[in-house]
Amino acid sequence: MKAINTKNITAIGVVSLLMLSACNDDNDDMSDVVDTMTETVTETMTHTYSVTITNLTQGQPMSPFVLLAHDEGMLFNIGDSASESLEYIAEGGNSSMLLAEDWVNESTTASAMLMPGESVTLMLENLEMMPNYLSVASMLVVTNDGFTAVNAFDTSMLNSGESYTLMGSVYDAGTEMNSEMAGTIPGIDMGEGFNSAREIEGVVTIHPGVVSMYDGLTQSVLTSFHRFDNPAIKVVINKM
Partner 1 sequence: MKKTLLLSSILLSSFAAQAAQLEISVQNLTQGMVFTPSIIAAHDSSAYIFKTGMKASDALQAMAEGGDTALLNTMLMDAGANTVITEGMLAPAGQYSVMLNTDMENMYLSLGAMLLPTNDAFTGLDSWMIPTQAGTYTIMINAYDAGTEANTELMLPMAGGVPGVVGIPGDPTMAAGTGGSGVADMSPNQMVHIHPGNIGDDMESGGASDLSNTVHRWLNPVAKVTVTVK
Q: Does 230 bind partner 1 (CB under 8 A)?
A: yes
Q: Is 154 helix (H, G, I), strand (E, B) or coil?
A: strand
Q: Does 179 bind partner 1 (CB under 8 A)?
A: yes
Contact 58, 118 (CB under 8 A): no
- Tell me the number of residues near partner 1 by CB under 8 A: 26
Is the CB of 5 or the CB of 179 nearer to partner 1?
Answer: 179
Which residues from 63-82 bind partner 1, rule CB under 8 A?
78-79
Q: Give the integer Cα–Cα distance in Å for 191 and 182.
A: 7
Q: Does 166 bind partner 1 (CB under 8 A)?
A: no
Which residues from 200-219 bind partner 1, rule CB under 8 A?
202-209, 211, 215-219
**Smallest Cα–Cα separation from 61: which of 210, 235, 226, 240?**
226
Q: Does 163 bind partner 1 (CB under 8 A)?
A: no
Q: Where are the beta strands (DSSP E) in 56-189?
A: 66-70, 104-109, 119-127, 133-139, 146-154, 163-168, 170-172
In the list 57, 107, 135, 178, the residue contacting partner 1 (rule: CB under 8 A) is 178
Which residues from 87-116 bind partner 1, rule CB under 8 A?
none
Q: What is the dihedral of CA 159, 165, 170, 175, to 10 degrees?
A: 10
Residues that bind partner 1 (CB under 8 A): 78-79, 169-170, 172, 174, 177-180, 202-209, 211, 215-219, 229-230
